[in-house]
Structure 1
Amino acid sequence: MTDSERSAVVLAGGYSIRFGIGDKALAAIDGKPMLVRVVDRLTSAVDTVLVSCRAEQRSDFERALGSAGLASLTQFAIDPVPDRGPLAGIRNSFERVDSEYAAVVACDMPRLDPTFLQFLFDRADGSDAVVPELRGGHLQPMHAVYHVERVRSVADQLLASDRRSLHGAFDRLDTTVIPAATVAEQTDWRSLHDVNSPADLDSLSTDSAR
């Protein structure tokens, strides 16, 4: 890609219902909240980080990021209507993104690999989306790079008809899929895994994720 500015959006506005104990974004691995881990890793891959969240989450998130020295490197995009799903969070956040392309990642991917994100950015020129394929053929849209204006336009169309699926947006986007074999060559599969339960979190803590 030719655009020198790179941005990232961290989606953190969900209610963590499946997680079950508090806000998942603030759940700690070895003493460090997952949101802090994700933002910290992103700062080596992008110029601007936006955290997409609900209004009531902001103060706790700012406190956690401030304690890690990351507050000045982070902006916030507050969801106008809470919990409408990732597509709405992306659309709202992209209103504040100035770069041509932006990465979108979930707040619960503490092993995020900034080098792999840079790999995705490098393959984004001309595409609406660059998305890694997981083993088994499924896509991982929550660890991908998107063309800001095109995705915002498609999101407007879908949300206007109350269609909230992020996967559904790919039917309208010119998407470059990074095959699973290539993903395996470029990064550890664990970098694409999210934390859905306390057991997942305990597993990462035991393995000393850094």
Structure 2
Amino acid sequence: MRSGLILAGGRSTRFGGEEKSLMLIGGKRMICRVVEALSPVVDEVIISVRDERQRGLLSPFVSGREFVFDEIHGIGPLSGVRAGLKRAKGEYVAVVACDMPLINGAAIGLLFDVAEGHDAAVPVHEGGLIEPLHAVYRRGTMLDAVKKSIEAGERKISAPLRRLKDVVYVPDDEIRKVDPGLDTFLNVNRAEDVELISRL
């Protein structure tokens, strides 16, 4: 069984408090795009949110999906990863951000295949930049690594990777085989990104 975890609990401070995951990209809500891309390659989709209020905002657009809530506040996305991994049923979990509206299902499927037998499959770009929020993790070992990172006061989303013993880093050339433009990694950080990505 394969699970998908979408992290949607960010505060959207650069959007004036507007719910970023509900921004329209090409006429479709961003969270809907991510759910639709993940659904064909996983057996369950879990959405991590801050609280009940945020679930209330998102649930009309993603009905039937399971939600988890941050149990520890003020530590960033690691809290959402922890909650999602605890709930997931699959041995391997794709962890993605809600602000990547062009996520490519084939790219996620490739990462699942690469991760098999390892602790994680994490994309790495030329220059060494990694994509921990567009990656596939073995649920048990990653959950343990996340818990230890939180206990150690580490907040970076990449921190748990240092605690995993068997991580496969997947270069751009491999991802390009299924997504030639690497659009799967594009994310919405600012309001102007919405228009740019909508044109794509």
Give me the TM-score of the superposition, normalised by structure 1: 0.89
User: Counterparts of 2:31 and 2:87 in 1: how far apart (Å)?
Assistant: 20
The alpha-carbon deviation at position 82 of structure 1 amounts to 3.5
User: Counterparts of 2:95 and 2:70 in 1: how far apart (Å)?
Assistant: 15
Aligned pairs for 1:134-145 within 5 A: 134-145=125-136
The alpha-carbon deviation at position 21 of structure 1 amounts to 5.3
Per the alignment, do residues 127 and 19 of structure 1 end up closer, same or farther by CA in structure 2, a change over 3 Å counting?
Answer: farther
Secondary structure class of the residue paired with 2:5: strand
> 2:111 maps to which residue?
120
Unmatched 5+ stretches in structure 1: 66-70
Q: Is the 8 A contact 1:42 1:49 kept in 2?
A: yes
Secondary structure class of the residue paired with 1:64: coil
> 2:189 maps to which residue?
196
Secondary structure class of the residue paired with 2:177: helix
> 2:2 maps to which residue?
6
> 1:47 maps to which residue?
43
Length, aligned pairs only = 197
Per the alignment, do residues 155 and 63 of structure 1 end up closer, same or farther by CA in structure 2, a change over 3 Å counting?
Answer: same
Per the alignment, do residues 158 and 57 of structure 1 end up closer, same or farther by CA in structure 2, a change over 3 Å counting?
Answer: same
> 1:68 maps to which residue?
none
The alpha-carbon deviation at position 115 of structure 1 amounts to 0.8
User: Counterparts of 1:157 and 1:130 in 2: how far apart (Å)?
Assistant: 20
Q: Is the 8 A contact 2:93 2:138 kept in 1?
A: yes
> 2:59 maps to which residue?
62
| Matching residue's letter, 2:168 | T
Unmatched 5+ stretches in structure 2: none
Give me the identity figure in percent: 36
| Matching residue's letter, 1:63 | P
* Larger displacement relative to structure 2 (13-22 or 101-110): 13-22
RMSD: 1.4
| Matching residue's letter, 1:206 | R
Give me the TM-score of the superposition, normalised by structure 2: 0.93
The alpha-carbon deviation at position 81 of structure 1 amounts to 3.0
Deviations 1:92-146 (A, max 9, x none): 1111111110000000111110011111111112211100112332011111000
- 2:21 matches 1:25: yes
| Matching residue's letter, 1:94 | L
Q: Is the 8 A contact 1:88 1:164 kept in 2?
A: no
| Matching residue's letter, 1:27 | M
Per the alignment, do residues 141 and 182 of structure 1 end up closer, same or farther by CA in structure 2, a change over 3 Å counting?
Answer: same
